[in-house]
């Protein structure tokens, strides 16, 4: 039996809330017991389920049942994803209903090959919402995604703006959402991410490839310093929606944001499970900003940090090809390809 104290104390003593990311059903149940109030998935979700024997069997059975009716492998992948996410939707539905729609959302982000086609993103979102009332459509903040979020939010669809790694992206989508929904009688639920750890992975890739000499302290602070600045900016401007931290790669990607009126999504294994086991004190660190010398070093050494940290660091047309966004998307493409190849394998059996 897990000691569920840490997240329960976070929930009791702060405004910070915990979501679980890409879980198996078993881990989702544990996460709810530990205090999770929502669940995120991405296009790699089903490929991760294939690593769990019980979930793999469920995926295989689903593919076999649907194969005679869906010829296109990518369309079949999308349907398999919906069915796998529907299990999470059912699991979180009692929470959604008892909280009157405040908690219990499950996100779904579709085929990553559609990310350059706003109409395809919108069509996927409409289909995905059919899974359940607690389904939230997750869309990347690129020029194409902003158009899609405008359309879906305007129809009252709960949305999560993802792949946000720069202040420019956060401002663009917050203003687009506010403009789109200001005439609605009721604004639909809206979450705005900051993908801290993946952005750090991009910076580390650049540092390695370009042999940049930079302090470990600066590298460790990079993504979180932008996340904290984004949180402050969203609050100061009274933008709509709730910020949600994502893409965690270290425990600090959760603990350094605790105390904020925000949500954070993390994996069960390696992160949530570890935080529960360590059972550390709940300390508000959202206002702990790196020293000016650290920010100056990051700006001097990393051009992409300067672009991400500045409020006007990028144009909307640049979001899609920004290094951190590209890195995140490439992981989704890889996961989607794994599922498609597995579908081909099952069809041959």
Spell out the domain ranges in the chain.
Answer: 5-348
Contact 125, 139 (CB under 8 A): yes
Q: What is the pLDDT of residue 4?
A: 56
**Angle 69-70-71 from CA coordinates, rounded to 5°:** 115
CATH number attached to the domain at 5-348: 3.20.20.70
Contacts 24+ apart (CB under 8 A), 200-204: 200/249, 201/249, 201/324, 201/327, 202/165, 202/304, 202/323, 202/324, 202/327, 203/302, 203/304, 203/305, 203/324
Of 5, 4, 86, nearest to 49 by C-alpha is 86
Q: What is the pLDDT of residue 1?
A: 42
Q: What is the pLDDT of residue 2?
A: 46
**Angle 153-99-232 from CA coordinates, rounded to 5°:** 55
148-173: burial string, b at 16+ Cβ within 10 Å, e else? bbbbbbeeebbbbbbbbbbbbbbbbb
Rounded to the nearest 5°, which phi and psi values hold at 187? -75, 130
Of 103, 120, 119, nearest to 111 by C-alpha is 120
How do the pLDDT tens digits run along the chain, 349 residues long?
444 599 999 999 999 999 999 999 999 999 999 999 999 999 999 999 999 999 999 999 999 999 999 999 999 999 999 999 999 999 999 999 999 999 999 999 999 999 999 999 999 999 999 999 999 999 999 999 999 999 999 999 999 999 999 999 999 999 999 999 998 999 999 999 999 999 999 999 999 999 999 999 999 999 999 999 999 999 999 999 999 999 999 999 999 999 999 999 999 999 999 999 999 999 999 999 999 999 999 999 999 999 999 999 999 999 999 999 999 999 999 999 999 999 999 999 8
Strands, E, within the chain: which ranges?
Answer: 17-21, 38-40, 105-108, 135-140, 159-162, 190-195, 242-246, 263-266
Q: What is the pLDDT of residue 213?
A: 98
């Amino acid at each position: 039996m897990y000691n569920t104290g840490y997240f329960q104390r976070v929930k009791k003593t702060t405004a910070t809330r915990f979501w679980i990311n890409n879980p198996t059903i078993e881990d989702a149940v544990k996460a709810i017991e530990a205090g999770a109030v929502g669940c995120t998935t991405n296009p790699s979700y089903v490929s991760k389920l294939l690593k769990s024997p019980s979930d793999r069997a469920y995926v295989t059975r689903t593919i076999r049942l649907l194969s005679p009716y869906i010829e296109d492998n990518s369309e079949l992948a999308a349907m398999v994803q919906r069915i796998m996410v529907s299990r999470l939707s059912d699991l979180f539905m009692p929470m959604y209903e008892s909280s009157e729609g405040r908690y219990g959302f499950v996100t779904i982000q579709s085929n990553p090959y559609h990310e350059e086609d706003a109409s395809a993103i919108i069509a996927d979102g409409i289909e995905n919402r059919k899974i359940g009332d607690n389904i939230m459509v997750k869309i990347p903040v690129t020029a194409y995604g902003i158009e899609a979020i405008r359309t879906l939010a305007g129809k009252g669809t709960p949305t999560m703006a993802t792949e946000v790694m720069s202040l420019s992206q956060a401002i663009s989508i917050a203003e687009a959402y506010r403009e789109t929904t200001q005439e609605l009688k009721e604004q639909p639920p809206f979450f705005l991410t900051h993908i801290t750890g993946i952005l750090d992975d991009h910076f580390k890739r650049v540092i390695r490839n370009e042999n940049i000499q930079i302090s470990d302290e600066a590298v460790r602070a990079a993504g979180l310093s932008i996340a904290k600045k984004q949180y402050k900016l969203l609050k100061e401007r009274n933008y709509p929606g709730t910020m949600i931290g994502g893409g965690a790669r270290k425990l600090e990607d959760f603990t350094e944001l605790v105390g904020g009126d925000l949500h954070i999504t993390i994996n069960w294994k390696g992160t949530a499970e570890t935080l529960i086991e360590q059972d550390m004190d709940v300390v508000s660190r959202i206002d702990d900003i790196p020293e000016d010398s650290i920010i100056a070093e990051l700006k001097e050494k990393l051009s992409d940090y300067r672009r991400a940290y500045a409020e006007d660091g990028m144009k909307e047309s640049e979001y899609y090809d920004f290094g951190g966004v590209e890195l995140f998307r490439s992981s989704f493409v890889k996961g989607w390809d794994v599922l498609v190849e597995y579908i081909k394998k099952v069809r041959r059996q």
